[in-house]
Structure 1
Amino acid sequence: MPAPTLVVGAPCWIDLYSSDTDKATEFYGRLLGWQAEPADERFGGYFTFTKDGKHVAGCMANDGSTGYPDAWGIHLMTDDIQATADAVTRHGGAVEMPPMEVADNGSFAMIRDPGGSVIGAWQPNQVAGFEVLHEPGTPAWFELHTGAYDDAVSFYRDVFGWDAHVMSDTDEFRYTTLGEGENALAAIMADAAEPSGWNVYFEVADVDAALAQVTELGGTVVEPAMDTPYGRLARAADPTRTAFRLVTSP
């Protein structure tokens, strides 16, 4: 499969902030078939995961010094990292980490949106991002759950240039996508019941079998599998209680 086409404004990379990178390496290695590449001490021990030799995610040790919890983080592509950072505060967000260069790889910044969700911005140089998507063991979908739905839709449209399309606007289900229909690349969902945050879905061949493996590997099932028009979905957590979602696409 050729590398995916990465689009400005859309997710281009994910990374795991973990208080136990050894457990994470074993867990995701066995669950998703990932291999961990050697840590790069130039970048604080950051390392990448590959699936069949193609880069799918990164990982960084969480020593507790930043105050951030273990979490999966998502990064959106930008073609002007400084302009993106400058736009954040004008549109109700905050810059958590200002733009910085990561050697010749590219430049990144960390941003907090109006609902309190943290998102990364990445301007690529030599490193673009994902080398594979939508195959078993790789990222398949990216979704913001937020209690500040209207503000979030406006924020991502104004700061990241989202081509936003309302898929549903009922009292029970409010959902806006980046792009439309089969060409959608990410989404925002109104969800006041859960803490605001970005979610990554990993494609698996069999969600139920994957959930059984999650528990065998020391993780937990957060939401059991359910059938939807978009595939069979579930939510789980790894051994440090870092949440993620699973999907078997129709």
Structure 2
Amino acid sequence: MKLTGPVPGGPCWAGLATSDVPAARAFYAGLFGWRSETDPRPEAGGYTTARIGEDAVAALSPLRDPGQLPAWTLSFATEDADASAGAVRSAGGTVLVDPLDVLGRGRFAVAADPAGAVFALWQARGFPGAGRFNAPGTLGWTELRTSDPRGALTFYRAVFGWSVDASERFTHWGVAGADFGGVKEQDDDEQAETPPHWLPYFTVSDTEYTVARALTAGGEPLAPPVRVPGGPCVATLHDPQGAGFGVLAP
């Protein structure tokens, strides 16, 4: 990822909703070295911030709704959450949670693109988002898995103004040309198992070693380590509660 920190339109945060916060804390601590702190205020609802050193890098929280499945959600920075929510609606998406203020830290909304991939909007006030990208244990890439890549290009460019770098093999998203993610079309088998979604990739020093540690700790493989031509070694996994994520070694 060519971004080094949150910028308007770019990814700024990754949050995990999980059925077992203590187990998830232990799993990701062993995998990435995260040190986690739970906000003790009742209104925070068990929100837990994971850190590398002093930098906040991700969050874990309990599931909120009956039937909700464990999953990672990516947040994208905006200077005006209400305006961005309006842009989502105008472009054919759905606002699932209307913009609301969060404990003086920012303004937050949850949306879905026309194919159903869920993401969040974050208007920073006291909290800008992740304090570090591209270092071991931190967000290093984002990927949209979707049944409608062409429609996704139209939607996200309309909402965020992203730049698009497309080739025969890959399509990359960027903010003013600084790539931070990509899009991958789901095949029929993947669509049957998993609806369209955003997948965070966390940077590691050694992909194969990290995958082995994850499997030993109760994770499950989705795609084995593979070297992207001219790029990183990547793999995708489920954590023990079933949330999907990726790892990459530059």
Amino acid at match of 2:182: A
2:180 alignment partner, one of 181, 185, 204:
185
- Say if 1:133 and 1:227 are closer, same or farther in 2 by CA, change over 3 A: same
Equivalent pair of 1:176/1:189 in contact (CA under 8 Å) = no
Unaligned residue ranges in structure 2 (runs of 5+): none
Equivalent pair of 2:10/2:175 in contact (CA under 8 Å) = no
Report Cα offsets for 1:76-111 as digits up to 9, x if no partner.
Answer: 011111111112121110110000000210000000
Equivalent pair of 2:5/2:133 in contact (CA under 8 Å) = no
Q: Find the counterpart in structure 2 of residue 47 from structure 1.
A: 48
How far apart in 2 are the matches of 1:135 and 1:114?
33
**Superposition pairs for residues 28-177 of structure 1, below 5 Å?**
28-40=28-40, 41-62=42-63, 64-65=65-66, 67-162=67-162, 164-168=163-167, 170=168, 173=169, 175-177=171-173
Once the two structures are overlaid, the 10-residue window that deviates more, 184-193 or 14-23, is: 184-193
Shift of 1:174: 5.2
Q: Counterpart of 2:69 in 1: which secondary structure?
A: coil
- Between the aligned residues of both structures, percent identity stands at 32
Shift of 1:60: 1.0
Amino acid at match of 1:25: R
How far apart in 2 are the matches of 1:114 and 1:166?
21
Count of aligned pairs between the two proteins: 241
How far apart in 2 are the matches of 1:19 and 1:144?
23
How far apart in 1 are the matches of 2:166 and 2:85?
28
Q: Find the counterpart in structure 1 of residue 234 from structure 2.
A: 233
Shift of 1:161: 2.1
Report Cα offsets for 1:119-165 as digits up to 9, x if no partner.
Answer: 10000001000101101111100111111111111111111222x22
Length-normalised TM-score, structure 1: 0.91
Report Cα offsets for 1:189-212 as digits up to 9, x if no partner.
Answer: 333443311011111111111111
Shift of 1:4: 3.7
Amino acid at match of 2:173: T
How far apart in 1 are the matches of 2:173 and 2:75?
16
Amino acid at match of 1:175: T
Shift of 1:180: 7.0
Length-normalised TM-score, structure 2: 0.91
Superposed structure 1 runs of 4+ greater than 6 Å apart = none
Amino acid at match of 1:178: G
Q: Find the counterpart in structure 1 of residue 216 from structure 2.
A: 216
How far apart in 1 are the matches of 2:227 and 2:205?
14
How far apart in 1 are the matches of 2:166 and 2:224?
25
- Say if 1:207 and 1:176 are closer, same or farther in 2 by CA, change over 3 A: closer
Q: Find the counterpart in structure 2 of residue 26 from structure 1.
A: 26
Name the Cα RMSD after superposition.
1.7
Report Cα offsets for 1:4-42 as digits up to 9, x if no partner.
Answer: 432111100110000000110000001000011123422
Q: Find the counterpart in structure 2 of residue 243 from structure 1.
A: 244
Q: Are 2:213 and 1:203 equivalent residues in the alignment? A: no
- Say if 1:175 and 1:120 are closer, same or farther in 2 by CA, change over 3 A: same
